[in-house]
Structure 1
Amino acid sequence: MMLTTVFVAAVVVSAASAASVCSDCDGAEPVDIVTYYEAMCPFSRKFLTTQLYPTMKLLPDNVMNVTIVPYGFAHEKQENGKWVMYNCQHGPSECIGNAIAACVLNMTAYDAREYMPMINCMEVNTRHGHQMEALSKCAPATNMSESEILTCYNSTEGSELHHQMGQITHAGHIHYVPHININGQHSKLIQYNAYNHLLEVVCQAYKGPEPAACKARQHVAIVG
């Protein structure tokens, strides 16, 4: 089975699972958030660590359905039947970070509640050229296996996983990173509001009973 199919199926299962834990949401669908990003892009890192992950932690599982796609504007080619990354926008370190993230997503069955602690840790702690140091710190801190991640990263499977992230990214027709879709929609207005005030955006978009974090939030002006 193509890994892209597995990834898309996992997103659907994640949304269904989130809805199943909601006992009083009156059938409300979770707000679907898809983020295309690059591991070393400063704007991607800021969004993941100061907006996406903190918002996830504040809200119940049933309110948000999160998908991240690590690739951005990388380039790759096939050598001896294996996809090889040869150019990433922020240098070789970013290629490593993207590939590690692709392995982490696959290892957690694309469950955002499982992979986001690790992804957040990597984004907070990684310096250019020091991805492996961050991996050694973040894997045990988030109950993941460093050896399993490295096995994936160094394997044909790892290169294929990253290649599939590239296919998904190309299909998304992105022009910058992070590129944020809310409920399948993207515009400059959606991008601006989500990048700066994601909690407010999710609280406004969610149609179920208002979560405690939404009631307690400091209201900000949403453009539009």
Structure 2
Amino acid sequence: MNCAVLLVLTVWFGSQCGGNALSSSCPAPPSEWCSSMDTAIQCGVLKHCLLSNVTRSHQTENAVEVGLYYESLCPGCRLFLAEMLFPTWLLLNEIMSVSLVPYGNAKETPDGQKYVYECQHGEQECLGNMIETCLLNMTRMAFPIIFCMESSTDVIKSAQSCAALYSPQLNWDKVMGCVKGDVGNQLMHQNALMTEALNPPHNYVPWITINGAHTEDLQDKAMTSLFTLVCSMYKGTKPAACGGPQKTSYKTYCHNK
């Protein structure tokens, strides 16, 4: 049977049997209810997730792709990520996608089957880069966690508490296993390859790409107002946040009787 048909039948059956009531066996926090079909079913929100995904798929066909090549302790990177990129994504995530590449101005040296890294701001930055790289590979909530880290006073010390806040199900020991092990080393190698493949080559960070391209004009516009840039470059129907049609009226009042 076609998977889409099966999914629709599952939604219909669940709605007929009262399946939208939140299940007591729900294994995830609300932020992750739609992370998989199994989780959505267990949490009783499959119909909502399906409708949400269908709507999002139509809106993101021409999504503006924003790439950020950065390093975890670079002051300018932290400022852009925390005060420009993340807030813009919160408002426009239906029409933009974000790709984070924590590596920046690091240097990679082969050491047998592994690689050794030297980072611009020292060993702590290498650790921050590696933690954020592993998070990006291990959880759908990586971006909020990284925002939490980068906007905190201490990027490294806040990592575990930020992860617990945004992804309570995430096992921190497993994250650190990635950080200290072969998986993290190979993931960072991929970051190095992506950074080295930039065209034109990066000569500072934060280095921003829009739909895979970097120009000084795009960089300046992104640094000045990423929100305006994304709205202007999106080719589909503009969302309400960009000045598009409002779908909901908020003119509802509670009168004093």
- Relative contact order, higher structure (CA 8 A, sep 6+): 1
- The match for 2:193 is 167
Structure 1 residues 165, 141: closer, same or farther in 2, change over 3 A?
same
Return the alpha-carbon distance in structure 2 between the equivalents of residues 76 and 152 of structure 1. 18
Cα drift, residue 24 of structure 1: 5.8
- Kindly state the Cα deviation for residue 84 of structure 1 after the two structures are TM-superposed: 1.9
- Corresponding residue for 1:212? 240
Evaluate the alpha carbon distance shift between residue 24 and residue 162 of structure 1 in structure 2; reply closer, same or farther with a 3 A threshold. Answer: closer
Superposition map of 1:170-189 within 5 A: 170-172=196-198, 173-189=201-217
Q: Partner of 2:124 in structure 1? A: 93
Match of 2:80 among 40, 43, 47: 47
Residues 134-154 of structure 1: CA deviation (Å, up to 9, x unaligned): 122111011133222111001
Runs of 4+ that moved beyond 4 A: none
Displacement after TM superposition at 1:164 (Å) = 1.1
* SS across alignment from 1:125: coil
Amino acid at match of 2:129: N
Shift of 1:76: 2.5
Q: TM-score, normalised by structure 1?
A: 0.77
Partner of 1:66: 98
Query: Which blocks of at least 5 consecutive residues in structure 1 are unaligned?
Result: 1-17, 217-224
Retained in 2: the 8 A contact 1:36–1:177?
Answer: yes
Which digits, 9 at most, give the CA deviation of each residue in 1:82-113, with x for residues without a partner? 2222x2111111111111111111113xx5xx
The one-letter code sitting in structure 2 at the alignment partner of 1:181 is: T
Matches of 2:112 and 2:152, distance apart in 1: 34
In the TM superposition, residue 20 of structure 1 has moved relative to its aligned partner by: 5.2
- TM-score with structure 2 setting the length: 0.68
Aligned-residue offset at 1:68:
1.0
Cα 1:148/1:193, change in 2 over 3 Å: same
CA contact (8 A) 1:32 1:65 kept: yes
TM-superposed CA distance for 1:70, in Å, is 0.6
| AA in 2 matched with 1:22 | R
CA distance, structure 2, for counterparts of residue 60 and residue 102 of structure 1: 21
Matched with 1:119 is 146
Cα separation, 1, equivalents of 2:58 and 2:114: 48
1:105 corresponds to 2:129: no
The structural deviation recorded for 1:122 is 1.1
Q: What SS is found at the alignment partner of 1:22?
A: helix
Q: Distance in 1 between matches of 2:115 and 2:153?
A: 24
Q: Residues 19 and 65 of structure 1: is their aligned pair in 2 closer, same or farther, counting only changes over 3 Å?
A: farther
1:82 & 1:116 partners in 2: Cα distance?
Answer: 27
SS of the aligned residue for 1:176 comes to coil
Of stretches 184-193 and 194-203 in structure 1, the one that deviates more from structure 2 is 184-193
Q: Does 1:191 align with 2:202?
A: no
Matched, 1:137 2:161: yes
For residues 187 and 158 of structure 1, the distance between their equivalents in structure 2, rounded to whole angstroms, comes to 31
Segment of structure 1 superposing worse, 33-42 or 75-84: 75-84
Distance 1:202 1:151 in 2: 37
What root-mean-square deviation, in Å, do the aligned CA atoms of Structure 1 and Structure 2 show? 2.1
Deviations 1:138-178 (A, max 9, x none): 11011133222111001111111111101110001211111
Unaligned residue ranges in structure 2 (runs of 5+): 1-51, 245-257
